[in-house]
Structure 1
Amino acid sequence: MNLRRVPWLAVIGSCVLALSGVFGPDVAQAESAGQADLDEALRLRVTAEGLPDLSQVIDRLQLSLDKGLEVEEAELAEQMVSDALMERASALMQVVNSNSIQDDRVKQILRLIVSDLRRVLAYDNPPPEANLMLGRLMALPGGDPHEARRLLGKYLEAAEIQDSQRAEAYMLRGQVQTDEEKALADFDEAIKLDPDNETYPLLRAVFLRNREKFDEALAAVDEMLSESPEDANAFILQGELFRQLDKQEQALESFDEATKLAPQAPGPFQNRGEIYREQKEYAKAIVEFSKVLELQPGVVLPLVHRAEAYLNNGQLEEALADAEAVLANDQVAAPQRVAAHRLRGEILAQLNRLDEAIEEIEQLSRTVPNQPELKMQLALYYLVNKNPKEAISAYDDVLLMDPENFLALRSRGDANLNMGNHAEAIEDFEKAILVEPEDAALLNNLAWVLATSPDAEVRNGERAVELATKACELTDYKMPHILSTLAASFAESGNFDTAIEWSQKAVNMDDPENDEQLQKELASYQKKQPWRERQNIADNGDQTDSKAVPVESGAQSIDF
């Protein structure tokens, strides 16, 4: 690296030597305690060729100031320290700009740059560029917006600044303004000062988007594209805005245009993949995420997304390979690692490796406690694996965290019903109905147990008829198992003629899976006998009696 040469350093060095000769040894003996370190710093400064040498100069100059110098020498040393710190900060910024700011080493460098710039600003008459550089850093995510505004405002007070630098300062300050009007005024000033910079209108539109001014942001992007119809970044932002406005087809058109203009840009492929994922077009999503990974090998987010798309597309081995590739990366951020573990658990469950799936989510649940979604996933696997007691315990944990969690209440009720705990099942179902009174499956299950339980103290035919009728209405009387529940409810109320009518309709719907069960129920009502049923699934055991409550399974949508 070629460090800046300051011609006046050599002049000062000569002057020091000359003065020493004029005044003689007495003055030399009376020189300040830090003079020798200053002289060494001058020598090092002239020969410095890299950051390590520059750091030695800074340290030696600071040592000379700490030991003490005469006024003129101190002013010289301070000026040299300020210049050297600015030079080191500038050189280190080049390192930062070529690397991700999430890298731990880069974070350490950023801390050093901030320290250097603060030291520069502590001296009298610091260069205006120090305010701009530090303001730029404070404007970054995780910085200090208040300090950024102050530093950039201070920089803009300087008289002699090039229009391009002044425009950058306005743009940066606009990004950290809390007042929308002031922010837009700053962006407009930046655009006026540097009209050829296509980034500034884009950042202005991004600001509007972040303020959820989507229509205004779109109008700004349209204006940009009318002036620069081949601006790929504008098309990408346009597509993102359409996505936020739930205009997915228009978003796809924008991303397609962006790809035509910038075929190596990964953003449009990622966005298209996410849209197809939301539309459940998983084969298309896989193609898009694969292209992102081709352009950016090893990037984690599209790998997680592709794993989920493979899972939902039935390509379980491919999904497992992607999830395990994510987990093999030690640098993966926590949310994506959690998502990969959840996906791996779901994949293992669908591969009928339930014990492994349970172990996966149990370990994850211990590592990331107090996550209702993990407990819900674990409870589902317990139920599928015929461990209803463990499932109930998991639902208990969820409900401690979220007492009105509808799925946990309904599912715990189903688990209790499967175990024959009818009173407990009814209690959970009744609580769930207060949260979701229009859920047909819940209404059906509660009506069924109220109509068919062998426990007289929990049966309630009148309430069962009310609930089953509502469930039938919600499903347009097209679900045979719900018509069966309505029939059982009328039978429990002693109205066997109506029970036979609805039971016959259920049989006539030709439901192969439940046909035998439905025939038995009809025969019971024809004998003027209500239907009685108690399920009893012991842990890892067999179910007794006939009619099981279905357990929902399958791929879950995982947010990350």
Structure 2
Amino acid sequence: MFRLFSTHLQLIALVCFSISLTTLPRLTAQDAVADPPAENTENAAGDDQPAKDLDLESPAVDPGQEDLDEAAILRFDAKSTRELQAVERLLQSAIKKGLSGENAAFSKKMLGSVLLQKSQQLIAAMGQARGNQPLELRDEALRTLEQALANDPALVEAYLLVARLNLLPGGDKTAISEATTKAIEILKDTPVERSAALMLRALTWGPGEEKKRMDDLNAAIKDDPKNLEALRARAALRLQDDDISGAIEDMEQVLAEDPTNQQVAQAVVEKLAELERVDDALKLLSKALEAKPSEGLYRLRAILYRMQLKEDEALADLNKALAMQPKDPISLLQRAEISVARNELQAAKDDLRAAERIAPAVAAAEQAIIVRYMIAFQEGRMADAINEIKTLIDRDPSSDRYKLQLANLYIQDERPRQAIEVLSTMLDRDPTNVSVLRSRADAYLAVGEHDKAIADYERALKVAGDNADEFDLSGILNNLAWVLATSPKDGVRDGKRAVELGERAVELTESKEPHILSTLAAAYAETGDFEKARQWSTKAVELGKEQDHNQTDQLEEELESYKANKPWREKQETEENAVPILSPDDLIDT
């Protein structure tokens, strides 16, 4: 039956053909060498018994045998799409013509294998496709895999490919669950491979099915304790369930296997930081760094140290990161920020310029803009600082943080009315923002609109309640008490209320702030109790001198007024700064 083209192909063909030989009757050696018996002839020993007939009739050949044999030979070297299609056609033809027994089973196994390989080629082509072609190729690959599994239901690789293709956008999660479940059943004796299948199935469970996801992840990790993908997924699920200790345990295992996996470390560190578990995050990073030092992990730990205001430790880690990778622009920018905070402006400028030389695109990064803003602010270049913050706002118009910074810059640059405009826009969207209410009240004070300032302070206090930890409650109390005690407008002042607010502010600051002691003194003076006014004012002056306070001169003037039994009056009326703000193109080089 075989068409043999070489000794090599003869051997391959014989291997494949051995399946069909299993249907032949087994012959003994004696039978194989005996002469064929003649009809009605006696045996050689002269025995009277007639010789037994041997049935040497050739076995029946399946109608599709020739196509199957040819397919088996071609399959050995088939790699291209055309060659695989040729094998597929021959197998389909053999099955259609008719195969029996092991030939039928063998043909289906081979066809399943060919279709699996064909689907793999389609999947590989998806990476080079454009437009709608990837989706069309995905659908064709899925149809091909369906045919492969119809021919060989035990083809585990096909089930896993079905699952992975359906993980793509628009995929069928039910199909993923069904395919992975089949694969899990087939892989019962191969735990590492089954672990990967369990991980795939875990991805299919949606909201409300967290227990099923956790069960699959636990099973996957039991089968393969080094399945990093399953460990990462379980850590994320544990974080979601507030099982912080469990999540840290999983992440420690991941980092033990892959100490340089900064993405994993960063994900869990960010979550821990969000949950205010910075100490836990630091321990996790320190263990990772013990296993294998990495500039990225040093940089990440430096950020955590900065969150804890541990600038020395942060600087030490950034120096280590830069020792390992001197051309790391992110570490340079981090170190520049620390230098600005320490008023080491030249060092900050050097790091900023180095980062921008290494990666020019860094100049447009948010962190670089913030460093430039901080340098400009420290150097008193308010117009430049304002322009840098405006750049950040243009990128993210919804950022209240940057808008609030812009308003405060306007106030410091003696542009309070521009600040009021920015703050009013923010309050239109969120009327209960305490920080914005306080800032607009300060701006109203600066332009002498005391009634409006008092209204904003009162609203801020109402929203803040007793939450001194989240809000600068002492600052709001102090400023409101000050205007109620010192406003030149008779209808605005309220000495009794000012004393109440001032005492609370003093209590919150533990009598350690000279200007807040001064406010309480002004409040008592407004009520006519000049003895207490002089007592608190004297404490304010003494503390101011001790701290070298920048308002010590005014504190002394206030005390002299109270010694003369005169209340203090103050009306700020800032003249709007008329100097135009330069455009970003005119910024001074820092």
Tell me, yes or no, whether TM beats 0.5. yes
Q: 1:175 to 1:273 in 2, by over 3 A?
A: farther
Aligned residue type for 1:184: M
1:441: Cα distance to partner?
1.4
Distance between the aligned counterparts of 1:316 and 1:477, measured in 2? 36
Q: Cα deviation per residue 1:259-305 (whole Å; 9 max; x = unaligned)? A: 23323x45532442222121222343244345556767877765654
Aligned residue type for 1:454: P
Q: How does 1:296-445 map to 2 (within 5 A)?
A: 305-314=334-343, 315-318=347-350, 320-321=352-353, 324=356, 328-329=360-361, 337-438=365-466, 439-445=473-479
**Hey, what does 1:209 align to over in structure 2?**
239
Distance between the aligned counterparts of 2:402 and 2:381, measured in 1? 18
Identify which of 184, 187, 197 aligns with 2:214.
184
Q: 1:470 to 1:199 in 2, by over 3 A?
A: closer
Aligned residue type for 2:286: D
1:368: Cα distance to partner?
2.1
1:317: Cα distance to partner?
1.0
1:503: Cα distance to partner?
2.2
Q: 1:172 to 1:251 in 2, by over 3 A?
A: same
Aligned residue type for 2:160: L
Distance between the aligned counterparts of 1:283 and 1:140, measured in 2? 46
Aligned residue type for 1:394: V
1:343: Cα distance to partner?
4.1
1:459 has 2:487 as partner:
no
1:375: Cα distance to partner?
0.7
Aligned length: 469
Identify which of 442, 450, 455 aligns with 2:484.
450
Distance between the aligned counterparts of 1:491 and 1:359, measured in 2? 43
**Hey, what does 1:125 align to over in structure 2?**
147
1:391: Cα distance to partner?
1.2
1:526: Cα distance to partner?
2.7
Distance between the aligned counterparts of 1:142 and 1:326, measured in 2? 41
Q: Structure 1 unaligned segments of length 5 or more: list them.
A: 1-6, 12-41, 49-53, 94-104, 543-560
Q: 1:125 to 1:293 in 2, by over 3 A?
A: farther
1:252: Cα distance to partner?
4.1
Given that 1:303 and 1:326 are in contact with CA atoms closer than 8 Å, whether structure 2 keeps it comes out as no
Distance between the aligned counterparts of 1:285 and 1:482, measured in 2? 34
Aligned residue type for 2:555: L
Given that 1:472 and 1:483 are in contact with CA atoms closer than 8 Å, whether structure 2 keeps it comes out as yes
Q: Structure 2 unaligned segments of length 5 or more: list them.
A: 1-8, 14-73, 98-107, 150-155, 467-472, 580-590
Distance between the aligned counterparts of 1:197 and 1:47, measured in 2? 32
Distance between the aligned counterparts of 1:504 and 1:294, measured in 2? 54
1:110: Cα distance to partner?
12
Identify which of 303, 310, 313 aligns with 1:281.
310
Task: Give the secondary-structure state (helix, strand or coil) at the position aligned to 1:126.
Answer: helix
**Hey, what does 2:560 align to over in structure 1?**
523
Given that 1:282 and 1:312 are in contact with CA atoms closer than 8 Å, whether structure 2 keeps it comes out as no
1:160: Cα distance to partner?
9.3
1:207: Cα distance to partner?
3.8
RMSD over aligned CA atoms reads: 4.8
1:540 has 2:577 as partner:
yes
Task: Give the secondary-structure state (helix, strand or coil) at the position aligned to 1:212.
Answer: coil
Q: How does 1:202-281 map to 2 (within 5 A)?
A: 204-218=234-248, 232=259, 240=269, 248=278, 251-263=281-293, 265-266=294-295, 268-281=297-310
Given that 1:86 and 1:116 are in contact with CA atoms closer than 8 Å, whether structure 2 keeps it comes out as no
1:480 has 2:514 as partner:
yes
Q: TM-score, normalised by structure 1?
A: 0.68
% identical aligned pairs = 32
Given that 1:417 and 1:425 are in contact with CA atoms closer than 8 Å, whether structure 2 keeps it comes out as yes
1:499: Cα distance to partner?
2.1
Aligned residue type for 1:363: T
Aligned residue type for 2:220: A
Distance between the aligned counterparts of 2:339 and 2:410, measured in 1? 24
**Hey, what does 1:167 align to over in structure 2?**
195
Given that 2:530 and 2:563 are in contact with CA atoms closer than 8 Å, whether structure 1 keeps it comes out as yes
Distance between the aligned counterparts of 2:227 and 2:112, measured in 1? 37
1:423: Cα distance to partner?
1.4
Q: 1:142 to 1:373 in 2, by over 3 A?
A: farther
Q: 1:297 to 1:46 in 2, by over 3 A?
A: farther
Q: 1:308 to 1:219 in 2, by over 3 A?
A: same
1:200: Cα distance to partner?
4.8
Aligned residue type for 1:476: E
Distance between the aligned counterparts of 1:405 and 1:262, measured in 2? 45
Distance between the aligned counterparts of 1:112 and 1:296, measured in 2? 42
1:372: Cα distance to partner?
0.9
1:500: Cα distance to partner?
2.6
Aligned residue type for 1:447: A
**Hey, what does 1:87 align to over in structure 2?**
121
Given that 1:327 and 1:337 are in contact with CA atoms closer than 8 Å, whether structure 2 keeps it comes out as no
